[in-house]
Structure 1
Amino acid sequence: MIMETTHRPHTNTLVRWLLLSLLAIATTITVSLGISSKAHAAPYDLNNMRWGLLPAGGLDKSGFPIFSNFDTAAISSTDWSPDPDGDQSFTSKDATLQKPYIVGTDTPKTVIGNYDKDGNPIGGDTKHQSDAKIGDTIQQQDGSTMTVTGFRIGANATEMGSVTGYGGWYDNLRAESEFFDFQVQEVDRNGQVVPNNKLTVFKKGNFQWSTILGVDKITDRKNNLVKVTITPLNSSLFANPQTLYFSLTGIQAPVVEPKAKESNIGYALYDTGGKIGGFTSKDVATSTEKMPILLETPNDGNLYLEDLSNPGATWKADNPKLTLVKDPNPDQLGYRVSGLKSLAPGTIVKFTDTKIDGTTEDVYFKFGNPTTPGGGTTSGNTANGGNSTGSATPPASIPTTTGDSSVVNQQGTTTTGTSQGSTPATSTSNAPIAVPKDVAVKSQVVYGLKKLGLYKNPTFTSSKRIAWYPKQKRINRPMFVVTGYARSANGTLRYKVRDVNHGAKTAGKIGYITTNKKYVVPVYYASLPKNNKITVIAKKGVNAYKAKSLTGKLKHYKTGTRLTIKKLVKHNLTTRYQLTNGSFVTANKKLIIAGNY
């Protein structure tokens, strides 16, 4: 299945060139006027990149690769084997000539997802995270099958986002080829090239993809390897070409999981309306008295602190001039720090986070000259004595350059300052988002109650609208899977979602929708009805099953059937109703309704 964003017209090259030219001119003018510009960061070392593989088969009728699409209506993270953003992603150290990464199998199997094309659960030996290898058969979500013969090499979205603003696999199926050149060869165990014209990097017109096809066609599957060379296209962004070696046989060496961050503390500024902007965990885990986090003092003198893994944590500061109180907004779980304007420039403050279990964690900040919330333009680091040369007032946020957060594994948004009178721009980052307890959790399904829009950005404008979803009857309401969270320019929380309306033109689209419970709610019931009665409303009826996983079909109930239930049970991120006879039925609001209907 190919997303429409992968078919890029050749005019994009000219547009991209013009944009880069304008950016270069703007940068030159900025420097010439003496306005500060951050020094270029060192190129990202590609040795640190984590990779994943998306199983691929042959070509479709349009000449594009067919990718795994086994679990939902659109390609998702569950299709990857492994997921580049998951714990089993690998680096070049896990794919060497001596110890290649295993991508094949000697015992082919069929990989099946959890749901059929109508969104109904599938019983039997199903998987929610693919483990497909070369030679396996994937039963696609639409019922078709695909034999795995190759793979797309995908980069970790967090690592890429820290350098390029890259949005990940869901934005563009050839996204990595925007930044790297890919070459593939068959080699023997000594690294000597073995000619093989069936092993190729897929190209369409002038556009290369990061998809390797014909892996199943290597001449000696037991002894030879697939060698993929990845070369950065922009040396100012990335350094050190990568060579990855893959084998069809052998025992996979355990992948070393990335080291978990040691801190889940985030901090943010307030905008002029008192709302919290984008969060960041930048430098929190490494802050010390000698290496504090450098932060300009906002004009309102306030800072927001939160331990996102300990909502009951309390905070204190070692400076008596500061006041710390629980933030008055019920949607926020952290503390408001006030009185920062009373500090002399260069003051270092230790904030102590006392967690629920009684343990503590210290975070150090060094505050500089006052500036408008969210920052303006400055000449030099004001925390080290630079002078402010501007005071544009975008919504409060703390821009991150690392994109690194262990709090919420998602694509959030960070607002960046603009000239006076302009609209704040939003840019993608991995800033952690503070999420109230009453919103749908990540990977949960929600549906629309009223007319609502799907937007490209969390700041909703008509020009950024992807689609309108009109108000529908209950059984036809649009459904979305929550993949993350973001905040708009004024701090309003949004869901980042994937459209899972099977058969609709919008199926698979990614965007942002409101979290307002008057418009969207979870599609599964979370409580028992008052009279313990439900009514089947699905046109095709519903089945009752022996297990809460909805396996072991026992009986079919037609539309209009009224059932008596005894309890609600949870299954992963869904719920089921257990009937008085002990069997289980779905608690999906599109299929059943509470009460006698």
Structure 2
Amino acid sequence: MKKSKLLPFLYAGILAFTTAGVATFIVPNTSNVITVAHADDNQFDLSDRVAGKWTLILYGPTYDLSNTDNVFYQKTNTLLQPTKIPTSSVSNYDDTLNQHFSVNSIQLYTLNNAIYEYEQWYSDAYQTEVAEYNPEGKVVPNSNLKVVSDTDNPAKNNSEIAGIFTMQPNDVAIVKITPVKASLKGQAYFFFNGSGKYTPDISYSYAFNDATTPTKITDVSDPSTITAPSGAKTLQLDQTGYIDPQWTGGDSNVKIDSNGKITGLDNPAEAGKTVTFKVTHGIDSTITHTFNVKIPAKSNPTPTPNNNGASSSNNSTAPANPTNNAWNPTTPPKADGSTGLPNYAAVKGAAVYATKRVYMYRNANFKKSQRIATYPKAKRVNRPMFVVLDYAKSNGGALRYKVRDVNHNSKTDGKIGYITANPKYVVNVYYKTMPKSHKITVINKKGIHTYKHVNLTGRVKTFKKGTHITVKRFVKHNLTTRYQLSNGTYITANKKLVIQGNY
């Protein structure tokens, strides 16, 4: 069985074509930077593809034959201009550099650590779906176009997609990414095929009073004007070429449902009016069409003095709770530039866990009535974990962490509040030192993996629970740490997965 492809993203590039017509990504001489969300960001919006820093990887028959484009997020990728996936490419992975390969699959990977944080599989952070759509906007059944499951855990995946070249020539593969974690919101769409083009076959039609034969609108210039016959009660608007069409418009008497059916045309208050409706493409909001429906006047009109049907809305927004800025440790209060934080304090964005029972509170002044959640003392592998968003001090001067709960199998997942920063109760999840004996023991019941790269991509082997491992070097990676082995591979330094010494 083919290995799961947990990719190296260290080989960025720009898509180009050689004189032989083979696609490659030209590798710029730049270093890679993992982006971390600002501390005041409560949720990351997946729809912001630029901030997400999505990369695209082309894979060959084996995972080490790959071509990585780390600036994919800067390039055009829309429904009408999908990314063209070449049938062959040239590897920019250092072990297979410049080797030609046939493209078997692709993978989307984010360089923004705020999205996947500490997850082992991408599917623990977000769900990846893919489907083939024809120009009429309909899903085309294709069992070969799919998200590839992880080899070791079929319920998980790493956003690898196979089967791009099994689609019909004029179709497009649409990849939809939606949140799994509470720290994410929104959704992202990506578009791929073998031609780099997709042209929807757009048309419009309508039918009054549930007529079985719709009338096609031959002039598709925007807007379309439809005149309702006398006595019409309903109007069914229809279209082709739209994916997940969104119907809007109408007024308090004449309404449209999610399927484009309009009711209320026979309401006496609407006689002589023109009511406007709109259909919008569910994925590409630039594709829209407007329909002006003219309702005939009454044959014997009677003046109607009541013209107060206009609706109003109150758009005022209640102010957010003010933030107490009396103490801000990120603003250096001293001439030497120090922050005023104790040396044990975790940095913003770092992961911490509780070694004893702790509580989450609504503010930095801890009161029992203000508790949001309780976290009992737990075994090391099950200790509750949090990401530090900010700092605060109680009225008495005690340091607090503003945190987000990242315990994904818990009802408290995603909660934001304040916990103690006392190191007797809360410490960093990742080791900050080498073990004196240079030995560590695997404590995770599922074991841990070794990887070629410090970002834990390019899986090499697995160590089972209880394995004693000799480590050579301690390595920092963004806000996490790793241990390097004598063969150059890397393992995690997460205290929930390994422990220093022999046990």
Give the TM interval when normalised to the shorter protein.
0.3 to 0.5
Higher helix share: 1
- Mark the structure with the bigger radius of gyration: 2
TM-score of the superposed pair, with normalisation by structure 1: 0.38
TM-score of the superposed pair, with normalisation by structure 2: 0.44
